[in-house]
Structure 1
Amino acid sequence: MPHSRKRLVVLGLDGLPLSLARALAASGRLPNLERLLAQNATGIEAELPELSPVNWTSFLTAANPGRHGVFGFVGIDPASYALGPIDATSIRVPTLMDRMTAAGRCAKIVNLPCAAPVKPLTGAIVAGFPETDLDRAAYPPQFAANLRLAGYRIEADTSRGAADFDFLARELRRTLASRRAALEMLWAGGDFDCFMLVLTETDRLFHFFFPAVAHPEHALHGAVLDLLADWDRVIGLVLDRYDALDGPKRLIALADHGFVELVTEVDLNAWLAQKGLLFTRPGAQNEWDARIAPHQTAAFGLDPGRIYINIKERFARGVFHEHVAEKLARELREELLTLSYEGVPVMEAVHLAEEIYEGPQLRRAPNLVCVGRPGMSLTAKYDREAIFGRHGRAGCHSPHDALYCDTAAARPATTTEAGREVAAYFDLPEQNEPAWISTAT
């Protein structure tokens, strides 16, 4: 039936660089990606650090990390120094879904990363990784029940990584089938103002098999294109359904960050330890088992390129007052900019927090945010001693060249600005920020 309401369809393509998308489209194997790129394709920049939680949250809130408060996958407790996962309860500002519900608009969302635990909204949602529990990931409850009956998979098993392409391909095809099933469930009737579907399969594939994707001469390139052809068919399903919509409408497709081939991982905690600035107790069980000795530690890192100074005003057993910490942060920046790997500088840039963030959550931001040169994957583990090495990955995130397509031909500069396009399209009023504040850093 005809609809007078205006609709927005958002297609998320996690980790897809514009340059790679164009090369893949030119292969002739991905006709729907080629259709998508015809919609005013351009590139946008990721917010820093160039991680999915930071950037999908920036899009989802139309706010930079200094306002929304999400700076990575994990945070550190300022009292115990224990690491813990960050989830949607860490978001400090209303989301676009909150604002749509307040404005009486209906949103239906499939596989939005870092959106759980979900809250009631006008519409329906199933969040994506890192959530594993459909009861926390889906709303309303009946939708969660229907997804469970359909065998819905929130995330692929990537435990075998680069060691088993066939296994990874099977897993990614299962999650693609899940996305398609959820799309079919929620699209029926067209009773939505905004529909959003995120496909995260590209990010998983690129982490382990980026060379096979990027290089036609690679032995697995044909198999990779076969997998991407299944991904392309889901894109085609979205485009066909968008084309069939009546009334005013707009399509936006975007990636949360770019991707490049890995040169080496660069562990900032190993670097800090070798500088005598980070001390940990022995016996770390895994990369997240921090065991920081806080009274002796001047600075520590969190993935992917965050460095925190152990400040008395911020941490229970801080070493420095803020004015001393500012001086140390600037000194560390100068030293990091001289770090090299096989004669090549590691860092593209090292930012002080106040240079890239603004807002009330600036006080919780890392003191330094490092950006590696292409292929330099910045990490901060707690079970490694070597600064450089490869640990099963073949591709790494980049803050540059993230894909953005828009039937309205807008050209936002960042993922945050892409979110503002959504807010402006629906003329969503601003909402007051919550009074509660998180204690996690």
Structure 2
Amino acid sequence: MSLFKKTEDRKRHKTVIIGLDGVPFTFLKKLIEKNKLPNISSIIKKGRFNKMSVCLPEISSVSWSSFMTGAQSGEHGIFGFVDLIPGSYKMYFPNFSNLKLNTIFDDLGEMSKRSIVINLPSTYPSRNISGVLISGFVAPNLKKAVYPSNLFKELQKIKYSIDIDTKRSRSNTGFLFRSLDTTLKSRMAIGEFLWNREQWDLFLIVVTGTDRINHFLWNSGSDPSKKLHKDFIQYYQKVDKFVGTFFTKFMELPGSNIGKNHFMILSDHGFTGIESEIYINKWLEENGFLSYINNHPSSWEDINPSSKAFAMDPSRIYINKKDRFKNGSIGKKDVEKIKSEIASGLGELTYKNGSPVLRQVFDREQLYHGPYKKFGPDLVLLSEYGFDLKGKIGSPYLFGRSNLQGMHTNDDAFIFSNRGNGVRTIFDVKNLILDEYHKT
């Protein structure tokens, strides 16, 4: 028995979007050229496949928010996975309720269109939309990640998984691969279930396992001599089959074979290997911009009021301004001078082999516009490939490594569209999608 009543309208324009979290254009292109991904290779011949730049910081919570709103952080209000409660040093985790703009599926709802949205990051907790919404990470409670609520039982029945256990997966590759497989299978199961039972105009489904395997095993993926290289590529081939399955379904829709409908694949950022992690707060501390009220700081509330600046993950620097923070010490007349000193000093930072660490330092005024710009960081750092910027508090070292192998990049995401449109930034995708509905 169907969960939803479905009616087929052959005049409907339909869009199918598959998101592959963290898949870089250059790596994907290399796998295609090596004939490792037969489905994606065949699909991209039917439209335009190109590199795409994304937001800064280049993290999923910001990037997917920009994708679904067509805007940057100063307009949609999401600046990172964590942020500060205004006026304080207390952290909170922004979620879907903090997003300030309409999404693609909200706009389509206003046009009496229905959407199926599965596993889109930064959509937790789920809420009422015209259609179905299953939140992506970070989503700690599956029951709160589902709209409409009567879909929850179906998710339980198929043992649906929002994400893998990332903590356990870091140190247990066997568990990682098993979890990646079961999560992808559950994603496919719910995708096929809803495709067949729901009336929809937009079908959007995101795979996040690609981001996870890139973080944990990037070296294995990029180096054929590594022990786990074959396993890494086999997972990408399972994702290729996943994409191929939905493309086959897409081509069976009325009008798809004559180009009436829209099929897209895209990522939210690129990836590269890590040479070293860099702990920005340690640099600020060493250069007299930051100090703590105790020897073992554990939160931003341990910042000494006399501090001039501090950093938050992954690359955001905040000036400790009097008019912004409860214990701020920096007046308006000194802000520009401090920003300039930090930008200049970090610009000269090099790694042990003399490699420059940063590509560019962006001022908030350069990067953001809109009503929420004032809540953003004062400076945002863009690193050279291989240098993973961290906002860790109290690190004893400036350079170091964790067990992560891969890091995000902002200029090597990808997009494919069978409409032949050459979108170059993630901020333009929403309009590309909606324009097709305005034409019909």
1:274 counterpart (278, 286, 294):
286
SS of equivalent residue, structure 1 residue 344: coil
| Alpha carbons of structure 1 residues 335 and 40: separation in structure 2 relative to 1, 3 Å | same
Quick one: which amino acid aligns to residue 209 of structure 1?
L
Task: In structure 1, list runs of 5 or more residues that go unmatched.
Answer: 429-441
Cα offset, 1:256, TM superposition:
0.4
- Take 1:290 and 1:161, find their aligned partners in 2: how far apart are those partners? 29
1:344 counterpart (341, 355, 375):
355
Partner of 1:411: 422
1:388 counterpart (362, 381, 399):
399
Cα offset, 1:171, TM superposition:
0.8
- Take 2:324 and 2:301, find their aligned partners in 1: how far apart are those partners? 18
1:17 aligns with 2:24: yes
- Take 2:252 and 2:238, find their aligned partners in 1: how far apart are those partners? 22
Contact 2:281 2:394 in 1 (8 A): no
- Take 2:397 and 2:107, find their aligned partners in 1: how far apart are those partners? 47
1:209 aligns with 2:217: yes
SS of equivalent residue, structure 1 residue 159: helix
Q: Kindly, what percent of the aligned residue pairs are identical?
A: 31
- Take 1:239 and 1:351, find their aligned partners in 2: how far apart are those partners? 40
Partner of 2:313: 303
Quick one: which amino acid aligns to residue 313 of structure 2?
D
- Take 1:283 and 1:85, find their aligned partners in 2: how far apart are those partners? 26
Q: List, as ranges, runs of 4+ consecutive aligned residues in structure 1 with deviation greater than 6 Å.
A: none
Show CA shifts across 1:201-230 (max 9, x none). Answer: 110000011111112222211111222222
Partner of 2:188: 180
Cα offset, 1:189, TM superposition:
4.2
Partner of 2:382: 371
Partner of 1:436: none
SS of equivalent residue, structure 2 residue 369: coil
TM-score by length of 1: 0.93
- Take 2:342 and 2:293, find their aligned partners in 1: how far apart are those partners? 23
- Take 2:168 and 2:300, find their aligned partners in 1: how far apart are those partners? 25
1:36 aligns with 2:71: no
User: Number of paired residues?
Assistant: 426
Partner of 2:4: none
| Aligned ranges 1:282-301 → 2 under 5 Å | 282=294, 289-301=299-311
Partner of 1:78: 86
1:199 aligns with 2:201: no
Partner of 2:137: 129
- Take 1:362 and 1:28, find their aligned partners in 2: how far apart are those partners? 45
- Take 2:30 and 2:366, find their aligned partners in 1: how far apart are those partners? 34
- Take 2:146 and 2:394, find their aligned partners in 1: how far apart are those partners? 35
Show CA shifts across 1:178-207 (max 9, x none). Answer: 111110121014611100010111100000
- Take 2:296 and 2:161, find their aligned partners in 1: how far apart are those partners? 32
Contact 2:278 2:389 in 1 (8 A): yes
| Aligned ranges 1:114-193 → 2 under 5 Å | 114-189=122-197, 191-193=199-201
- Take 1:330 and 1:73, find their aligned partners in 2: how far apart are those partners? 26
Cα offset, 1:284, TM superposition:
5.4
- Take 2:433 and 2:40, find their aligned partners in 1: how far apart are those partners? 22
Show CA shifts across 1:84-121 (max 9, x none). Answer: 21111221111222212122110001100011112201
Quick one: which amino acid aligns to residue 377 of structure 1?
D
SS of equivalent residue, structure 2 residue 245: helix
1:27 aligns with 2:39: no
Show CA shifts across 1:114-140 (max 9, x none). Answer: 111122011101011111211221100
Partner of 2:339: 329
RMSD: 1.7
SS of equivalent residue, structure 1 residue 43: strand
Quick one: which amino acid aligns to residue 21 of structure 2?
D
SS of equivalent residue, structure 1 residue 131: coil
Cα offset, 1:258, TM superposition:
0.4
SS of equivalent residue, structure 1 residue 188: helix
Partner of 1:252: 264
Partner of 1:401: 412
SS of equivalent residue, structure 1 residue 295: coil
SS of equivalent residue, structure 2 residue 438: coil
Quick one: which amino acid aligns to residue 147 of structure 2?
Y
- Take 1:316 and 1:241, find their aligned partners in 2: how far apart are those partners? 56
> Comparing 188-197 with 391-400, which one deviates more in the overlay?
188-197
SS of equivalent residue, structure 2 residue 165: coil
